[in-house]
Amino acid sequence: MWLYLAAVLAGLFLLRRWHRERQTVPKLSEKYVLITGCDSGFGNLLARQLDARGLRVLAACLTQPGAARLQAATSPRLQTVLLDVTSSHSIAAATAWVRERVGDRGLWGLVNNAGIAIPTAPNEWLTKDDFVKVLDVNLVGLIEVTVSLLPLVQQARGRVVNVASVMGRISFFGGGYCISKYGVEAFSDSLRIEMRHFGVKVCIIEPGYFKTEITSAERLEKNFLAIWNKLPEETRASYGESYLKEFLVSLRKMQSRCNSNLRLVTDCMEHALTSRFPRTRYSAGWDAKLLYLPLSYLPSAFVDIVLGWSYPKPAQRA
């Protein structure tokens, strides 16, 4: 009896959720959306995707060639602006540019997508500057862009969509990347609570491993070897050449398992911007749904054992 009742209630809940999530925001063709990091990857695909759907896309690119390529592949509706999220001057200029374009309508959507992954390596190998380089882009830059554009988002009672990662739930490797994504989660949570009374919704995208320019095996290997070659001799001796080789092998294996279907992520972003009832969090990729997010709820001792299997052992601890 109770089992049947539970099944019925679960079915009704899922049916209601399905119905709510299919309802879209009206007059999408009048909505302005700013996306950062549109030179390549998720940002580039999302810009083209939203442009095809009729939204007024404001695509922020780091380089002029990246902006030109995007404009050539989209409609005249899409406009580009150069933006370096580590520069306060660049952010202020981009904010003024956006204000001129949106006018009294405000900015419906802000997608904080710009990010970098390197330098990354075991924490002991890195310097303060290595951490700061990643944090400046992935976290501090994201915060400054959001704070600068928030009045325009409030004006439209719109959306802020922040790209975090499953590495914002589980810190799997050293460097600033995981730290920055934990920070994005914390910033987004506090901002969501603050913005409720302004009618602004804040959504978090948590992708698993996807094959993008910043996660290319060649770039990660080059970064890793460059850091290794700068290490003091005693540090390299304590880890050993075998550690380096095993780490590079595991890096290539990880790359081979990366998902190349970026639409799984950009579809989540699009839903967060166009649905009347967006989710608070979106997990993209089966590795995120079935491995990393479930692991994040388990005891730390168990997580350490599971993730530790894929780590090579240093020479002095082998």
Q: Which residues contact 18 (CB under 8 A, 6 or more apart)?
A: none
- Rounded CA-CA distance 275/53 in Å is 13
Task: Please give the pLDDT value at position 317.
Answer: 54
* Cβ(168)–Cβ(185) below 8 Å: yes
| Cβ-based burial of 170 (10 A; exposed 0-12, middle 13-18, buried ≥19) | buried
Asked if the model's pLDDT at residue 242 lies above 60, the reply is yes
What's the rounded Cα separation, in Å, for the pair 154 and 105? 10
Type of residue found at 16:
R
Tokens of 85: 């999220």
Confidence grade of residue 221 (pLDDT, cut at 50, 70, 90): confident
189 within a domain of the structure (yes/no): yes
Distance CA 114, CA 82 (A): 12
Residue 83 domain flag: yes
Residue pLDDT, tens place only, 86-103:
999 999 999 999 999 999
Give the tens place of pLDDT for each residue, 41-60. 999 999 999 999 999 999 99
Q: Would you say residue 266 has pLDDT above 90?
A: yes
Residue appearing with tokens 């119905």: 19
Decide if 297 is inside a domain.
no
- Under a CB-based contact definition with an 8 Å cutoff, are residues 262 and 212 in contact? yes
Average of per-residue pLDDT across 280-294:
91
Is position 107 within any domain?
yes
The whole-number pLDDT of residue 155 equals 97
Question: Which residues are annotated as catalytic?
Answer: 177
The pTM of the full predicted model, rounded to 2 decimals, is 0.90
Question: Which percentage of the chain shows pLDDT scores above 70?
Answer: 97
Mean pLDDT of 271-281: 95
66 pLDDT band, cuts 50/70/90, is: very high
Which has more confidence, 19 or 163? 163
208, 284 Cβ separation under 8 angstroms = yes
- Answer whether residue 111 is part of any domain: yes
Considering its fold, how many domains does the chain have in total?
A: 1
Range of the domain at 134: 17-211+260-285
Each residue's pLDDT tens digit, 175-200: 999 999 999 999 999 999 999 999 99
Interatomic CA distance for residues 111 and 37, integer angstroms? 9
Query: Per-residue pLDDT tens for 113-130?
Result: 999 998 988 999 999 999
Domain membership of residue 275 (yes or no) is yes
Report the range of poorest mean pLDDT among 16-25, 267-276, 287-296, 302-311. Answer: 16-25
Higher pLDDT, 311 or 317: 311
Which pLDDT score, from 0 to 100, does residue 308 have?
Answer: 78
CATH number, domain of 44, equals 3.40.50.720
| pLDDT tier, 318 (very low <50, low <70, confident <90, very high otherwise) | very low
**pLDDT-derived band at 209, boundaries 50, 70, 90:** confident
pLDDT at 248 over 70: yes
Q: How confident is the model at residue 8 (pLDDT cuts 50, 70, 90)?
A: confident
pLDDT, averaged across the chain:
90
Q: Does 132 reside within a domain?
A: yes
Q: What is the pLDDT of residue 162?
A: 98
pLDDT greater than 70 at residue 133 = yes
Between 211 and 297, residue with greater pLDDT: 297
Instruction: State yes or no: pLDDT of 22 exceeds 90.
Output: no
Higher pLDDT, 257 or 47: 47
The answer to whether residue 291 sits within a structural domain is no
Helix residue spans in the chain (DSSP H): 2-21, 41-53, 64-72, 88-102, 128-135, 142-156, 176-195, 217-230, 233-239, 241-256, 263-274, 286-287, 293-296, 300-308
